[in-house]
């Protein structure tokens, strides 16, 4: 069976300033973790964080990338720019971008390709909203997101991650239960096997996100198809984020 090293990502969203962000990860400097740990600050802070964290193992990533490689696209930042700045990964299709900034499966597909082209690891975020969950169409929504985004993409399972973030769990304090999350992750892996093949599905890391905190991280990570966590609010608290990473390491 493929070894999937755990990955914990902090998504700092539109939070700052730089002092708070440095405080959140200062304790990681000089420490070794088996778990892969990444932070996604606002673009403007990426370089500062890379400098601040140069004696740490933390990967710095972006929360988005442009679907364009270059040109007259005011306000955009390309995958290549993120890579050149020292970025190692990028979130794509976060539900906040889908809800508020018109991100679609089609634009996610383009962005995943842009990222892969410059060797930046895409973290494709998928998830159902409350209405879809209540209507019992969660699996249909997830399948469509995976199929429409990854169906035509050529890459191996190690080059990309999927983050399952149920929209109703984001910022609400109501995380999916570990059993429910495991069931959905197993479904995602199974569908990825049908879309991309067994080898891809076996190697791809599937992260859970949505109200992760230091108290629920261990129970989530115990499950065989939960390969890591995408953490919002709790990642801004230095002690909480360190605890979550320690739990991932002990898993």
Q: Looking at beta carbons only, is 43 or 68 nearer to ligand 13P?
A: 43
Q: Looking at beta carbons only, is 157 or 232 nearer to ligand 13P?
A: 232
Catalytic residue numbers read 94, 165
Maximum alpha-carbon separation in the chain: 48
Neighbours of 195 (CB within 10 A): 16
Q: Could you list the residues that contact ligand 13P (CB under 6 A)? A: 11, 94, 165, 170-171, 209-212, 230-234
Q: Looking at beta carbons only, is 64 or 159 nearer to ligand 13P?
A: 64
Which residue lies nearest ligand 13P, judged by its C-beta? 232
In angstroms, give the least distance from the CB of 197 to ligand 13P: 27
In angstroms, give the least distance from the CB of 11 to ligand 13P: 4
In angstroms, give the least distance from the CB of 129 to ligand 13P: 13
């Amino acid at each position: 069976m493929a070894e999937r090293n755990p990955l914990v990502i902090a998504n700092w969203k539109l939070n700052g300033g730089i002092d708070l962000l440095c405080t959140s990860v200062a304790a990681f400097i000089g420490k070794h973790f088996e778990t892969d740990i990444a932070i996604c600050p606002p673009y403007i802070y990426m370089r500062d964080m890379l400098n601040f964290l140069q004696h740490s193992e933390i990967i710095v990533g972006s929360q988005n990338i442009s679907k364009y490689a270059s040109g007259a696209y005011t306000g955009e930042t390309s995958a290549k720019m993120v890579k050149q700045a020292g970025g190692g990964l990028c979130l794509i299709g976060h539900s906040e971008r889908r809800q508020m900034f018109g991100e679609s499966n089609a634009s996610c597909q383009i962005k995943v390709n842009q990222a892969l082209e410059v060797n930046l690891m895409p973290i494709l975020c998928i998830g159902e909203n409350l209405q879809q969950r209540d209507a019992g169409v969660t699996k249909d929504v997830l399948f469509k997101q995976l199929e429409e985004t990854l169906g035509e993409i050529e890459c191996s399972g190690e080059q990309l991650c999927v983050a399952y973030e149920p929209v109703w769990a984001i910022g609400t304090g109501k995380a999916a239960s570990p059993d429910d999350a495991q069931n959905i992750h197993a479904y995602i892996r199974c569908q990825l096997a049908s879309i991309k093949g067994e080898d891809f599905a076996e190697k791809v890391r599937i992260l859970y996100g949505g109200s992760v905190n230091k108290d629920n991280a261990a129970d989530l990570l115990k499950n065989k198809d939960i390969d890591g966590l995408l953490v919002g609010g709790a990642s801004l608290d230095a002690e909480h984020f360190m605890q979550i990473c320690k739990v991932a390491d002990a898993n």
